[in-house]
Amino acid sequence: MYVAVIPNRGSPPAILLRESYREAGKTKNRTLANLSRWPTERIEQLRAVLRGDKLLPAAAAVEIIRALPHGHVLAALGTARRIALDAVLPRRAPQRRGPSAHGLDPWGDLALALIVARLLEPAAKLATARMLDPATASHSLGEMLGLGKVAAKEVYGALDWLGREQPFIEAKLARRHLQDGALLLYDVTSTYLEGRCCELAQHGYSRDHRGDRPQIVIGLMCAADGCPVAIEVFEGNTADPMTLSSQIDKLKQRFKLQRVVMVGDRGLLTSARIEQTLRPAGLDWITALRAPAIKQLAAAGGPLQPSLFDNRDPRSRVEGVPGQDRDMAEVTSPDYPGERLVVCKNPLLAAQRARKREELLAVTENDLARIEARVQRARKPLRGAAAIGQAVGAVLGRRHMAKHFQLSIGDDTFSFAKNHLSIAAEAALDGIYVVRTNLPAAQSDAAATVRAYKSLSGVEHAFRSLKTVDLELRPVFHWTAPRVRAHVLLCMLAYYLEWHMRQSLAPMLFDEPDPAARDAQRTSPVAKAVPSPAAQRKAVRKRTDPAEGEPLPLHSFHTLLGDLATLTRNVVRLGRDRLTAILATPTRTQHRALDLLGVTPTA
């Protein structure tokens, strides 16, 4: 028996079950049944039976050989290709060689895998090699890039190659995101190391409050929108201002930028660095004054007086900010020739500083009263001016309140009192900060200058992401300076990818989805930023905006990657020997995230 398909003019073909037989020495056919109404799947099953194929139960015919997390790989790798991250890496990559290499693939693919893996699952290099190798893979990244077998030695080789190519990579990023006259954000942080073998490891001022550990200092350059462009590692005892000269050389020599506006905080762009480094290089700057400099401006006869923020003072009315006064004014000083000083007063900051000072004064006064009681007690009193002074110094040094107390120490006496004049003088400057720049008002008015200075928060966000919540730069176990520098560069490139993903995924994250609306409703750059209406609706409902489609649960960047990771790529065996890759059905959240990133779900 067999199934025959008979053409039928003007109608669908007839599908008949027939058999052959011999009669009078001739072969003839006869129809046993008309199968034209049968579904195609049922007809194919009948054909398989007639061929003598062995049919298996559905559970035995389909076997899932392997299922790997795939959705987060799709999202990150798809974004990397959309922003042409692979084009930032040099094409002159050497070839992977050795017994563990799969053919002769360039380091570039493996380097791209390291960048994406750092974002998806930050781990040690040995663990990264495990997650990329097909035998021990924890996601589909290695398979999607066709890396084949990956050894730890190859991962270190790709890392070293990235480090050697850092000048080329940064120059490519600079050409994308910087141009002459643009704002350049620069800030410095530190992070401690494991071990003591690296020559960069030195003790210094620890922003991680780990003064017991040797550390490195990291300088990060970002474009005005917070997109990272370049990073550099210094010895751990390098002062922040001392990192500036190498960055200017990088801008001039490597990036070929003759004039940029460098934005840095008051501890970085000091007066000495401005005069000795920035001004000779022909660069512009936006920074802020330190507290002692502000006190000098507020001295008798100085330009910073309480009346500056009075409605009657015309300097307190800032052009371009309708109805705004009392929080921003522009002044000049002979101590800063050729510069403009924008004085800002933030009431919220003033209240915060006043509250903190009162708390510290109260605690310090209580501790000093205890020392006074120890001196005056009858049994085992505290004696000796040196011993009393040591106890008092420990209290005042812990909370930095010595300037607000008047002390009298003797061999057997101790008394103290608050210095109300000092307290009042400090309170008069609560909430006041001064932004300085050499840019003319036509290029950057007072409001734009303050906004540019506050944009340094973008670099601070980058440091937070690099060091803790997302990319986990620590712990750093590398022993040599080139490896440490390459590791930090790898983390920066992973943050570059994360930054672009966040821009697209903002409607699904707790991030601000509409910066333009947020800035438009802000009456003054000095005032506290208020989230846009869309961001406020998201914060209240904890779901996406209904105006953008079906409301979905909001995520942090980290938890959204975790949600995407549940979209698996399944290698399935059909029948005896047919293997195929099948993608799990994406959820609504996964569909929405991939759509925002411009990525098509594929296995």
Q: Strand 405-409 relative to strand 340-345: parallel, antiparallel, unpaired?
A: unpaired
pLDDT given for residue 311 in this prediction: 59
Residue 203 above 90 pLDDT? yes
Residue 553 above 80 pLDDT? yes
pTM: predicted TM-score of the whole model, two decimal places = 0.84
Retrieve residue 156's tokens: 């270190």
Q: What confidence tier does 157 reach under pLDDT thresholds 50, 70, 90?
A: very high
Rounded to an integer, the average pLDDT of 141-151 is: 93
Residue 315 above 70 pLDDT? no
pLDDT given for residue 288 in this prediction: 96
pLDDT given for residue 23 in this prediction: 86
Retrieve residue 593's tokens: 């995230």
* Strand boundaries in 504-584, DSSP class E: 568-574, 578-583
pLDDT given for residue 310 in this prediction: 67
Rounded to an integer, the average pLDDT of 261-271 is: 94
The owner of tokens 């500036």 is 244
Sequence spans of domains, the chain: 2-55, 348-427
Residue 298 above 50 pLDDT? yes
CA 137 from centre of chain: 26
How does 534-558 read in b/e, with b if 16+ C-beta sit within 10 Å? bbebbeeeeebbeeeeeebebbebe
Tell me the torsion sign for CA atoms 560, 565, 568, 569: positive
Q: What confidence tier does 100 reach under pLDDT thresholds 50, 70, 90?
A: very low
- Closest by CA position to 132, among listed 124, 116, 143: 143
Residue 492 above 60 pLDDT? yes
pLDDT given for residue 254 in this prediction: 92
Query: Interior CA angle at 487 toward 481 and 491, to 5°?
Result: 145
Residue 371 above 50 pLDDT? yes
Report how far residue 544's alpha carbon sits from residue 510's, in angstroms, rounded to the nearest whole number. Answer: 9
Residue 440 above 90 pLDDT? yes
- Per this entry, what is the length of the chain? 603
pLDDT given for residue 59 in this prediction: 60
pLDDT given for residue 56 in this prediction: 62
- Closest by CA position to 328, among listed 185, 427, 451, 439: 451
Sequence-distant (≥ 6) Cβ neighbours of residue 444 within 8 angstroms? 261, 286, 437, 452
CA 349 from centre of chain: 26
Cβ neighbour number for residue 76 with a 10 Å cutoff: 26
Report how far residue 3's alpha carbon sits from residue 459's, in angstroms, rounded to the nearest whole number. Answer: 72
Report how far residue 294's alpha carbon sits from residue 428's, in angstroms, rounded to the nearest whole number. Answer: 11
Report how far residue 217's alpha carbon sits from residue 229's, in angstroms, rounded to the nearest whole number. Answer: 17
Rounded to an integer, the average pLDDT of 183-188 is: 96
Long-range contacts, stretch 582-590, CB < 8 angstroms, 24+ apart: 583/70, 584/67, 584/70, 586/71, 587/563, 588/550, 588/552, 589/508, 589/552, 589/553, 589/555, 589/563, 590/71, 590/563, 590/564, 590/566
Ramachandran sector of residue 474 (left: φ over 0; alpha: ψ -120 to 50; beta: rest): beta
* Strand boundaries in 382-540, DSSP class E: 405-409, 414-418, 432-437
Q: What confidence tier does 300 reach under pLDDT thresholds 50, 70, 90?
A: confident
CB–CB of 303/296 below 8 Å?
no
Residue 101 above 80 pLDDT? no
Q: What confidence tier does 323 reach under pLDDT thresholds 50, 70, 90?
A: very low
In percent, the amount of the chain with pLDDT more than 70 equals: 93
- Whether omega for the bond prior to residue 475 falls within 30 degrees of 0, making it cis, is yes
pLDDT given for residue 52 in this prediction: 81
Residue 180 above 70 pLDDT? yes
Report how far residue 231's alpha carbon sits from residue 242's, in angstroms, rounded to the nearest whole number. Answer: 15
Identify the three-state secondary structure at position 14: strand
Residue 503, CB-side half-sphere exposure with 13 Å CA sphere:
11
Report how far residue 491's alpha carbon sits from residue 115's, in angstroms, rounded to the nearest whole number. Answer: 7
pLDDT given for residue 98 in this prediction: 43
Using the 8-state DSSP alphabet, how is residue 327 labeled? S
Identify the three-state secondary structure at position 122: coil
pLDDT given for residue 322 in this prediction: 45
| Amino acid at residue number 122 | P
Sequence-distant (≥ 6) Cβ neighbours of residue 283 within 8 angstroms? 248, 251, 259, 260, 261, 262
| Amino acid at residue number 532 | S
pLDDT given for residue 105 in this prediction: 41
Identify the three-state secondary structure at position 440: coil
Q: What confidence tier does 543 reach under pLDDT thresholds 50, 70, 90?
A: very high
Q: Strand 284-288 relative to strand 261-263: parallel, antiparallel, unpaired?
A: parallel
Residue 552 above 70 pLDDT? yes
CB–CB of 449/323 below 8 Å?
no
Arithmetic mean of pLDDT over the chain: 89
pLDDT given for residue 399 in this prediction: 87
| 3-state per-residue secondary structure call for 525-569 | CCCCCCCCHHHHHHHHHCECCHHHCCCCECECHHHHHHHHHCCEE
Q: Strand 62-69 relative to strand 328-331: parallel, antiparallel, unpaired?
A: unpaired
Retrieve residue 226's tokens: 């917070």
Residue 494 above 80 pLDDT? yes
Residue 576 above 80 pLDDT? no
Q: What pairs with residue 415 in β-bridges?
A: 408
The most confident of the ranges 21-25, 103-107, 594-598 is 594-598
Rounded to an integer, the average pLDDT of 237-253 is: 93
Which range is least confidently modeled, 204-208, 297-301, 306-310, 591-595? 306-310
Residue 93 above 90 pLDDT? no
pLDDT given for residue 320 in this prediction: 41
Using the 8-state DSSP alphabet, how is residue 567 labeled? S
Residue 533 above 80 pLDDT? yes
Rounded to an integer, the average pLDDT of 203-211 is: 90
Residue 102 above 50 pLDDT? no
pLDDT digits (tens, 9 = 90+) for 24-79: 888 888 898 999 889 988 898 888 888 887 766 666 667 889 999 999 999 999 99
pLDDT given for residue 520 in this prediction: 87
